[in-house]
């Protein structure tokens, strides 16, 4: 039996200015009047986190990750306190807390820390005293009192992890769109809102670029089977439920299409073609905590080969350092970086039982003269790397090709 606690999370655009904070405060007010215990997790206002990172890079192009965390964790401290003040003005008892006050304990990986545990005593005490507890998302603290952050979009993870640790009745994610769509509705106007989606499909959509939910937040929700409700903070329309099982008669073949524009392609040229080399390269990258996505090795000629892979743009400085060390060690020729790429992905669990999805996808891109530079597939997704300027067009074409604009959820 779940506790009578609601966890609500409001993203950056939802609290971007005073007007929006007041609007959110009014919505919180209506929950309190229903008699629920309330924990509200908030992100930093508007583009605060991006602006702080820009500021850091003006001072030092390669800032230390510890200091980045010290800086960007301040964004959420501003929004929690302002929201608490807005609730006080409405005569509601509310208290704002930052990560270490809540007791969100993480590992030591600055800028992408993992939550190890949440000490719930403080939150429970405040909720039991009838207060609305407003928690700064995106941050935690190591066992040695160092401030950490949880990776971009990490307030989603804070909300889900808190909901799990409180055994909350509901975790609602308030954002600037009405739910999860078949594609980013800002790029594909024909995209349709999805009424219900499984954790597995949402996980794949999120990890392939549907930024509406952070991937790690979905992983945690799935592990603890806590349903999420994604909805708009701008109106009261129905949103999307993300849940474990949906009693489909027939699973939809394709659920959604995603676009990722923040990856870089790295190519290591003239790598000696012998056993153990790939293992060495990717072990070095893994030990630098680099998330490698697609990997392609070209056909070997004259005992050497080219290895290409994609990485998040944010890892580029680290990857440059690691690869220049690696190429010296293995005797490869050079490292080439290509920022001019975008990745489009077709996602759906029904793909497992429907052959021909890949062919249909490649055919649609070819017909529109969009060249595919890299391909990767999983059981429930197909991803293609294309030139950056073709990314949005490819997204719209694939959305249309798979008839998603006509679905109603």
Interface residue list for ligand ASP (CB under 6 A): 11-12, 43-44, 49, 75, 137-138, 152-156
CA 131 to mean position of chain CA atoms = 30
Select the binding partner of residue 256 from ligand ASP, Mg ion, ligand ADP, none (C-beta < 5 to 8 A, by kind): ligand ADP
Considering only CA atoms, which of 344, 350, 277, 289 is closest in space to residue 317?
A: 289
Contact present, 110 and 150 (Cβ < 8 Å): no
* Closer Cβ to ligand ADP, 202 or 281, answer by number: 202
Q: Which of 87, 161, 180, 268 binds ligand ADP (CB under 6 A)?
A: 180
* CB crowding 160-191: b at 16 or more within 10 Å, else e: bbbbbbbebbbbbbbbbbbbbbbbbbeebeeb
Shortest Å, Cβ 169 to ligand ASP: 22
The residues with which 271 forms a beta bridge, in sequence order, are 305
Considering only CA atoms, which of 213, 257, 215 is closest in space to residue 239?
A: 213
* Closer Cβ to Mg ion, 151 or 153, answer by number: 153
* Closer Cβ to ligand ASP, 138 or 199, answer by number: 138
How many C-beta atoms lie closer than 10 Å to residue 55's C-beta?
A: 12
Considering only CA atoms, which of 252, 338, 253, 333 is closest in space to residue 294?
A: 338
Shortest Å, Cβ 201 to ligand ADP: 11
Mode of pairing for the β-strands spanning 240-243 and 228-232: antiparallel
Q: Which of 149, 165, 175, 215 binds ligand ADP (CB under 6 A)?
A: 175
Q: Which residues in the 97-156 window bind ligand ADP by CB under 6 A?
A: 153
Q: What's the rounded Cα separation, in Å, for the pair 322 and 286?
A: 10
Applying CB under 6 A, the span of 12-20, 63-71, 286-294, 323-331 interacting with ligand ADP comes to: 12-20
Q: Which residue is nearest to ligand ADP (CB)?
A: 11
Select the binding partner of residue 138 from ligand ADP, ligand ASP, Mg ion, none (C-beta < 5 to 8 A, by kind): ligand ASP
Select the binding partner of residue 44 from Mg ion, ligand ADP, ligand ASP, none (C-beta < 5 to 8 A, by kind): ligand ASP
Query: Contact residues for ligand ADP (CB under 6 A)?
Result: 11-14, 43, 153, 175-177, 180-181, 183-186, 205, 210-212, 256
């Amino acid at each position: 039996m779940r506790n009578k606690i609601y966890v609500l999370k409001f993203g950056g655009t939802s609290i971007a200015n005073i007007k929006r904070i007041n609007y959110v405060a009014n919505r919180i007010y209506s929950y309190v009047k229903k008699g629920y215990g309330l924990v509200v997790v908030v992100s930093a206002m508007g583009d605060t986190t991006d602006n702080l990172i820009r500021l850091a890079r003006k001072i030092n192009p390669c800032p230390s990750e510890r200091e980045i965390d010290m800086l960007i964790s301040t964004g959420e401290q501003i929004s929690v306190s302002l929201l608490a003040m807005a609730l006080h003005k409405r005569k509601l008892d509310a208290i704002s807390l930052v990560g270490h006050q809540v007791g969100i304990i993480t590992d030591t990986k600055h800028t992408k820390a993992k939550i190890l545990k949440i000490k719930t005593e403080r939150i429970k005490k405040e909720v039991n005293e009838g207060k609305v507890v407003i928690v700064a998302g995106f941050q935690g603290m190591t066992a040695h009192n160092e401030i950490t952050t949880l990776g971009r979009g990490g307030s989603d993870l804070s909300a889900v992890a808190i909901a799990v640790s409180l055994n909350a009745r509901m975790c609602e994610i308030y954002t600037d769109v009405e739910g999860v769509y078949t594609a980013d509705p800002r790029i594909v106007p024909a995209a349709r809102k999805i009424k219900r989606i499984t954790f597995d499909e949402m996980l794949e959509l999120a990890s392939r670029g549907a930024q509406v939910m952070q991937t790690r937040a979905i992983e945690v929700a799935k592990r603890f089977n806590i349903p999420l409700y994604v909805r708009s903070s701008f109106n009261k329309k129905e949103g999307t439920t993300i849940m474990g099982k949906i009693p489909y008669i027939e699973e939809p073949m394709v659920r959604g299409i995603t676009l990722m524009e923040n990856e870089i392609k790295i190519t290591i040229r003239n790598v000696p073609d012998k056993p153990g080399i790939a293992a060495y390269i990717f072990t070095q990258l893994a030990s630098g905590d680099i998330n490698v996505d697609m990997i392609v090795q070209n056909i070997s000629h004259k005992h050497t080969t080219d290895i290409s892979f994609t990485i998040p743009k944010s890892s580029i400085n680290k990857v440059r350092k690691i690869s220049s060390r690696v190429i010296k060690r293995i005797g490869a020729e050079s490292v080439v970086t290509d920022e001019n790429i975008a990745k489009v992905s077709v996602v759906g669990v029904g793909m497992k039982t429907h052959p021909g999805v890949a062919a249909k996808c490649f055919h649609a891109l070819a017909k529109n003269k969009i060249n595919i530079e890299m391909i990767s597939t999983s059981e429930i997704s197909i991803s293609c790397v294309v030139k950056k300027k073709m990314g949005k067009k490819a997204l719209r074409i694939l959305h249309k090709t798979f008839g998603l604009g006509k679905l109603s959820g």
